[in-house]
Amino acid sequence: VTFSYTIDATVHTITRVRIAIMGKKTIRDLGEFGAIDRIKKLLPTADNVVEGIGDDCAVVRVGAQLLLLSCDASIEGVHFDQAYMPPKEIGWKAATAALSDIAAMGGTAKFALVTLAAPSTTEETLIEALFQGIAEAATACGAVVVGGDMTSNPSGIILDISVIGEPTKDGRYLTRSGAQPGDLLAVTGHPGESAAGLHAFQRNNEAPALQAAHCIPTARIAEGQYFASHTDVHAMLDSSDGLLQDAAHIAKASDLGLNIDSAKLPISSTLQEYARAQDVTPESYALNGGEDYELIIALAPQDAEKRIAEFNKTFDIRLNIVGTFTDAHTKVLVDGAPTKTQGYQHFQTPD
């Protein structure tokens, strides 16, 4: 039995290698976003799909009810490493990443489904800790875990979390498109801290605040709802792939250009000190570091100061202006100079 398998597998491998030599495109060539674009073209849609593939959540209609739907996978060795992340934090972060997609539309999180794949040698206590982290993150966002799937997976732990939410009462939600020329680019919190925290783990540096930013981020549900309920906020997403790349997503979806003023990046003294000690500019962390799950918005310039003052009075975190959307199509600038987005994109780094 095993032998006939092996032959088949080898033939298959040889075929794959031959195809690669002949120049067949892989998803590494396409990149995560290129692959999503291709698949989007392939899939049928329907009248009850209000927003399909391409935003943080899908928006769909069931009866009279609008729903927000999203899912997010966390894979051992790709998204996290048990060497530095305890299971409860792995669960918390996996759930937060999914719940942040609801925040990024300004919605209310309601339910979560959890798929867990793990080696059969995984200890029961580890599984329980994963689910404790998931449950705490869900509870913090007002959501409840209602089901899922459990399966064996010899190569490591995988969590895939689906979230179901709804828009706030007036039915308003925010997408990536809708930014206007002249809108201000604003971001909550301190982007870049999560990436610096990961760097600290990888180099065995001590940086507890940054490491906590990496392991136990917060989904900005209440802040997202605040933005969705104010019509001077025109577009929104969460900073999962890095401020520069994510802000560029808004610009692209809104058919605009963008200029980021690096002097305005909200860099904490902690990040400043850490970056200096590592001989890196803190701005590179703030622009390119992913997994902060802060909110990035396009804000009408009129009365922007008033909006920011009100936000800062209402919430524990700060909202800061870091750039401007321009009508110069497709160009993303930092301090007026062209730049290449360097945030995270799956498939474009070696496995």
Query: What part of residues 43-72 is at the interface with its own copies (CB under 8 A)?
Result: 43-46, 48-49, 52-53, 57-58, 60, 62-65, 67, 69-72
For 316, the token pair is 């524990």
Q: Which stretch binds its own copies (CB under 8 A): 202-210, 215-223, 286-294, 328-336?
A: 202-210
**Looking at 21, 125, 269, 279, which residue binds its own copies (CB under 8 A)?**
125
**Looking at 110, 176, 214, 249, which residue binds its own copies (CB under 8 A)?**
110
> Count of CB atoms within 10 A of residue 193's CB?
29
Q: How far apart are CA 66 and CA 44, in angstroms?
A: 20
Question: Would you say 318 and 266 are in contact if contact means Cβ atoms under 8 Å apart?
Answer: yes
Q: Which is nearer to its own copies, 52 or 178 (CB)?
A: 52
**Looking at 90, 176, 178, 202, which residue binds its own copies (CB under 8 A)?**
202
What DSSP state is assigned to residue 225? H
What DSSP state is assigned to residue 340? -
Question: Would you say 328 and 234 are in contact if contact means Cβ atoms under 8 Å apart?
Answer: no
Q: Which is nearer to its own copies, 130 or 295 (CB)?
A: 130
How many residues bind its own copies, per CB under 8 A?
97
Among 204, 244, 207, 262, which Cα is nearest to 331's?
244
What SS3 state is found at 260?
strand
Q: Using the rule CB under 8 A, is 22 a contact of its own copies?
A: no
What SS3 state is found at 163?
strand
Helix axes of 87-103 and 208-215: crossing angle, nearest 10 degrees:
60
Q: Which is nearer to its own copies, 138 or 267 (CB)?
A: 138
**Looking at 14, 78, 277, 280, which residue binds its own copies (CB under 8 A)?**
78
Q: Which of residues 134-173 bind its own copies (CB under 8 A)?
A: 135, 139, 144-156, 158, 160, 162, 164, 166
Q: Using the rule CB under 8 A, is 262 a contact of its own copies?
A: no
User: Exposed, middle or buried, 238 (CB in 10 Å: 0-12/13-18/19+)?
Assistant: buried
Q: Using the rule CB under 8 A, is 128 a contact of its own copies?
A: yes
Question: Would you say 124 and 157 are in contact if contact means Cβ atoms under 8 Å apart?
Answer: no
**Looking at 21, 170, 171, 204, which residue binds its own copies (CB under 8 A)?**
204
**Looking at 121, 231, 263, 279, which residue binds its own copies (CB under 8 A)?**
121
**Looking at 90, 96, 104, 123, which residue binds its own copies (CB under 8 A)?**
123
